[in-house]
Amino acid sequence: MHACPPSIIASSVFLAGTILCSGNGFCQTKDFSASAAGAAKLEFFETRIRPVLIEHCAECHAADTEASGGLLLDSREGWQTGGDSGMAIDVGHPDRSLLVQAISFEDPDLQMPPEGKLPAEVIRDFSTWIRDGAEDPREATGPVSARSTGLKLENAQDHWAYQSIREIEIPVTDEVSVIDRLINRELSAASLAPVPPASRSVLERRLYFDLTGLPPDEADRVPEEGYDQLVDRLLESPHFGEHFARQWMDVVRYAESITLRGFVLPEAWRYRDYLVTSFATDRPFDQMIREQIAGDLLQQSDLKERQLQLIATGFLTLGNTNLEQQDKAQLEMDYIDEQLEVIGRAFLGQTIGCARCHDHKFDPIPTRDYYALAGIMSSAVALEHSNVSRWVELPLPLSETDTAHFDQLATRLQATERKLAALKKSVKADSVVKQRSIPVAELPGVVVDNRDATLVGEWTESMHAGRFVGSSYLHDGAIDRGKKTATFEPPPLPPGDYVVRLAYTASGNRASNALIGVSSADGEAKLRIDQRKAPPEDDAWISLGTYRFEQDGQAVVLVSNDRADGHVIADAVQFLPVETLAAVASTVAKTKVPTESSKEHIATVQAQQEILELTREQTQLKADINKRPRYLTLKQTQPPRDIAVHLRGDVHNLGEIVPRGVLSAVGKSPSISSQSSGRTELAHWLSSSQNPLTARVYANRIWSWLMGRGIVSTVNNFGTTGTTPSHPELLDWLASELIRSGWSTKHLVRIIVHSDAYQRRSRAPDDMQEQSDPANRLYWCGQTRRLSAEQLRDAMLLISGELDKAQGGSLVRPGTNADYNYRHQSTRRSLYQPVFRNSLPELFEAFDFADPSVSVGQRSRSTVATQALVLMNHPWVVERVSATADQYRKLDEQYGHRTVIETLYRDCFNRSPTSDEVAACTKFWQDGMASQENDRLNSLIHAMFASLDFRYLE
């Protein structure tokens, strides 16, 4: 045991957790004994390896299956024997193990599991497990046998999860809660003793993170506040809704983009805000289920409630779908399959998708039940089909006044577009307009041709397509993104207002987002132009707007290929005084005997002027209409229908038609009329207190969020391949209590955090009880847990004084059409950062953020070198350290080093430093030269952020 100077704290980062920092500020290097090392390896297998094998491999590689490829993975003897391709695991050598090669998807002919590649952290876990000796306590249950049908439907009640929730009668006293009575009973039977409660500072920090996702904030502290009062205050905090929404978002695979082409879902954020509102106001969870499944079909007179219902059903639309699938029948079925899979895992803890091609091999879910559910979903269209299909967005209901306003805008837009189309048609009929090359000399105003532009990068001159100004136009070759510009600068302009127009030639290979900058007396404006669409004015021009230019002032138009998604065209720029067209028309009109030529000229000029005005009006109207709120949803457009079983999952190989319905093994099936799709009935069946799964599954989730491990550790799988409850009576009591409370999330949270089980301190590294229950399955101690990626990020922002606590709304920057290489720059809470499937923040990826493409019940908990490197070197972390140092430097100037150190420990660890820690930190700070003191303060803060005490909850 020794004092813990900052240099040691910092070194613990590089060692990725081999140095343990205790609550009293001392460090000790863990000296594993042989038995302790074995227990650690066993725990690693039980928590990281076995659940993955059960969830992703057991269906095809267990003794009671057909043993695909002759390989068994349900026992140590199975993988030691190997399969048709040879030995699956080469102990000590993950790089030579076929199992690792298969889950890594390195070989296109050897990729498992078939439903898709596992997360990177899971692959790393398997490599670590094999490298460390592949500890596996499982014994073979027998030789490969004929295919088993698993639990038959008629025997469903043999499995605990399908049995009715039991009423647990437990004597209650003021001293011991029901939770503790049931847990202590199991501890006594296992000859285990519960550890004492954690200290007040540890419990306070645990409560803050578990209930709000944020560390204790000095500004929020209430003097002499009791534990009960602290719990109540945190439950009423607006941050409670944010934190619990983020946890549920893991389960429902929340994301704001689709992997395909990085398509952005601009309205997905409304569903996230619905969750924040619902958890903050303690919306009954059974109501939330109904709204997420069938909110669009429910009736509600209150406008705000109706909006929430409609937004909630966005739950069904967040899947990661291949919208390029040309077989639309297949695409729709894949979409429904994804919906059923997330419904099954989120609400029922069932792997429904396994029954798409055949009866479920393990659970009592026949294929008929799968297609009974699929029939319910089939009449609600969630896609608008085209070559690349698109998701559905609809206008959100508004007040009568707001609705009338937007309706009026739409009517005006229709009239404007009709008039504009007629004018363009008449202008196109003019022979002068039809010519391909437009002479610069014949154009009004000041025209800068591409030959007079200043070019950066290599541009190519062309006359290949469309109408162009002068003798040619330029294109960038669609290469060197961001490195090419064409600057159009006119000779000095008389001061005044000018319409600025850009000429380009349109084609399908053009950029849909060409970047144009206009510098004028009012500053710099940036626009994105879709050059795939024909120029709206005279088949050659597009108006960039009206700008004011001053004498000898700035007048520049810059065309850039920055982030362009195709060829960028630079042809000519016209600076047209707003009076020019009117003056020309007025002069010609004064001619006493106008010629036929002058009449044509007048008509053309007047038409062009009106086209400019109508185009500006059209643009403004569209912008105003686009301000109407929209929401991501599906449309109940098709008549209710039953669908046929797809033999072997093939949408074109149909079997018998099955009536719409629910899972036969679970409770009483609702009656669905021929006029109803059945989605409302499904929502009520899911949320029924008589459904034995739903309340159990949700109560288990809440328990796992607070205790670090579920009573059923496979929180998304309550089927026969999932784990059995460690405390079945406690699970049923919690489920019953949830129902009795009116499905109140806050009620269940309150009674759990008031239990002794929740308040226990974390086990000591040398505790002998660890050998009896290394995974803490019986809850004899508190569960040490690493903070999530979001909690780490938010904590650093809060301590640095930069956290923006504003709530709600979208943080996707306007104009973002694809999520690739998106830069996450906001200082809002992590909950509000866009969840882009192709572009997650590096901190999220390093610290086991949930895969947003699948329902995640429990995040992976990896410990890899990448995490240490990110905390030590990532620019974002370094910036937070610097911002924190700026705050504490002011404190140092006023009160001195000791106050800074004491404040740092309270902010980072929620405790005061010991005298030894104060001395060590002070010495570290003062040992450097005076010129280095600022760097030493930064290093001290950085060490705090990287320490185990900061990253973990005791």
Q: What are phi and psi of 429, to 5 degrees?
A: -70, -20
- Averaged pLDDT, 902-914: 95
**What is the model's pTM?**
0.71
d(CA 559, CA 551): 24
Whether residue 47 is found in the same domain as residue 8: no
Q: Residue 637: pLDDT band by 50, 70, 90 thresholds?
A: confident
Contact yes or no for 706/720 (Cβ under 8 A): no
Residue 585: per-residue pLDDT: 44
**DSSP SS3 for 74:** coil
Whether residue 878 is found in the same domain as residue 939: yes
Final residue in a domain of this structure, among 556, 578, 600: 578
270 within a domain of the structure (yes/no) = no
Whether residue 50 is found in the same domain as residue 6: no
- Burial string for 723-740 (b: 16+ CB within 10 Å, else e) reads bebbbbbbbbbbbbbbbe
Q: What are phi and psi of 170, to 5 degrees?
A: -125, 125
- The secondary structure element, H or E, covering residue 943 is helix 933-946
* Residue 371, both tokens: 């297609």
Contacts of 296-304 with CB under 8 Å at 24 or more apart are 296/633, 296/634, 296/636, 297/636, 297/677, 297/679, 297/680, 298/680, 303/397, 303/398, 303/399
Q: What is the CA radius of gyration of the chain?
A: 33
Helix 875-895 vs helix 865-873: crossing angle, to nearest 10: 50
The tens digit of pLDDT for each residue in 361-384 reads: 899 999 999 999 999 999 887 899
**Residue matched to tokens 């900052």:** 6
The residue with greater pLDDT, 862 or 158, is 158
Q: How many domains does the chain have?
A: 3
Contact yes or no for 543/499 (Cβ under 8 A): yes
The mean predicted confidence, pLDDT, of the chain is: 86
Residue 161: per-residue pLDDT: 95
Query: Which among 181, 164, 337, 284 has a CA at the least distance from the CA of 698?
Result: 284
868 CB-near residues (< 8 Å, 6+ apart): 13, 14, 15, 16, 946
Read out DSSP for 654-696?
EEEEE-S---TTSSPPPP--TT--SHHHHHHHHT-TT-TTHHH
635 within a domain of the structure (yes/no) = no
Contact yes or no for 165/695 (Cβ under 8 A): yes
* Residue 91, both tokens: 């102990």
- Burial string for 190-219 (b: 16+ CB within 10 Å, else e) reads eebebbeebeebbbbbbbbbbbbbbbbeee
246 within a domain of the structure (yes/no) = no
- Burial string for 403-413 (b: 16+ CB within 10 Å, else e) reads eeebeebeeeb
Q: Tell me, what DSSP letter sits at residue 347?
A: I
Q: C-alpha dihedral over 274, 280, 286, 291, to 10 degrees?
A: -10
**Residue matched to tokens 């380009």:** 504
How many CA atoms, within 13 angstroms, populate the side-chain half-sphere of residue 60? 13
Whether the link from the prior residue into 875 is cis, omega within 30° of 0, is: no
Other Cβ atoms within 10 Å of 221 Cβ, number: 11
Residue 615: per-residue pLDDT: 84
Q: What are phi and psi of 860, to 5 degrees?
A: -65, 155
* Residue 629, both tokens: 């709120």
Residue 287: per-residue pLDDT: 98
Q: Is the dihedral of CA 767, 771, 774, 780 positive or negative?
A: negative
Residue 866: per-residue pLDDT: 87
Residue 72 has pLDDT above 50, yes or no: yes
**Residue matched to tokens 């106050």:** 899
Query: Which among 568, 571, 556 has a CA at the least distance from the CA of 449?
Result: 571
d(CA 275, CA 115): 29
Whether residue 46 is found in the same domain as residue 8: no
Contact yes or no for 764/1 (Cβ under 8 A): no
Final residue in a domain of this structure, among 118, 141, 164: 141
Q: Residue 84: pLDDT band by 50, 70, 90 thresholds?
A: low
The tens digit of pLDDT for each residue in 108-125 reads: 667 788 777 888 888 888
Whether residue 68 is found in the same domain as residue 8: no
Whether residue 6 is found in the same domain as residue 54: no
Residue 935 has pLDDT above 90, yes or no: no
Contact yes or no for 179/751 (Cβ under 8 A): yes
Which residue type is seen at 97? S
- The secondary structure element, H or E, covering residue 726 is none
Which residue type is seen at 440? V
Instruction: Give the lowest-confidence range in 12-26, 139-153, 300-314, 794-808.
Output: 12-26
d(CA 195, CA 761): 7
Whether residue 448 is found in the same domain as residue 553: yes
Final residue in a domain of this structure, among 550, 578, 606: 578
Whether residue 569 is found in the same domain as residue 454: yes
456 within a domain of the structure (yes/no) = yes
The tens digit of pLDDT for each residue in 387-445 reads: 999 999 999 999 999 999 999 999 999 999 998 888 887 766 444 334 578 889 889 89
Q: What are phi and psi of 66, to 5 degrees?
A: -75, 0
Residue 30 has pLDDT above 50, yes or no: no
Residues facing residue 524 across a β-bridge:
519
Contact yes or no for 306/397 (Cβ under 8 A): yes
Query: Which among 244, 247, 310, 251 has a CA at the least distance from the CA of 278?
Result: 244
Which residue type is seen at 298? L
Judging by beta carbons within 10 Å of its beta carbon (0-12, 13-18, 19+), is residue 660 exposed, middle or buried?
buried
| CA distances (Å), origin 139, targets 45, 74, 179 | 14, 8, 34
d(CA 760, CA 766): 17
d(CA 829, CA 803): 7
Residue 753 has pLDDT above 90, yes or no: yes
731 within a domain of the structure (yes/no) = no
Contact yes or no for 537/496 (Cβ under 8 A): no
CATH number at residue 571: 2.60.120.260
Residues facing residue 519 across a β-bridge:
524, 556
The tens digit of pLDDT for each residue in 189-241 reads: 999 999 999 999 999 999 999 999 999 988 778 888 899 999 999 999 999 99
420 within a domain of the structure (yes/no) = no
Residues facing residue 107 across a β-bridge:
110
528 within a domain of the structure (yes/no) = yes
The tens digit of pLDDT for each residue in 680-712 reads: 999 999 999 999 999 999 999 999 999 999 999
Q: Residue 587: pLDDT band by 50, 70, 90 thresholds?
A: very low
The residue with greater pLDDT, 172 or 718, is 718
Interior angle at CA 833, CA 828 and CA 836, nearest 5: 170
Residue 770: per-residue pLDDT: 78
Measured in residues, the chain has a length of 954
201 CB-near residues (< 8 Å, 6+ apart): 910, 911
d(CA 690, CA 704): 23
The DSSP bridge pattern shows strands 446-449 and 437-438 to be unpaired
Residue 113: per-residue pLDDT: 84
Query: Which among 45, 130, 149 has a CA at the least distance from the CA of 91?
Result: 130
Whether residue 129 is found in the same domain as residue 73: yes
Whether residue 6 is found in the same domain as residue 86: no
Whether residue 528 is found in the same domain as residue 482: yes
Whether residue 572 is found in the same domain as residue 446: yes
Residues facing residue 494 across a β-bridge:
none
* Residue 379, both tokens: 């009449």
Residue 596: per-residue pLDDT: 45
Residue 928: per-residue pLDDT: 62
Instruction: Give the lowest-confidence range in 5-19, 144-158, 726-740.
Output: 5-19
Read out DSSP for 423-461?
HHHHHHHSHHHH-SEE-GGGSSSEEEEGGGSEEES--EE
789 within a domain of the structure (yes/no) = no
The residue with greater pLDDT, 900 or 471, is 900
Structural domain for 922, as ranges: 2-17+871-953
Residue 48: per-residue pLDDT: 84
Judging by beta carbons within 10 Å of its beta carbon (0-12, 13-18, 19+), is residue 675 exposed, middle or buried?
exposed
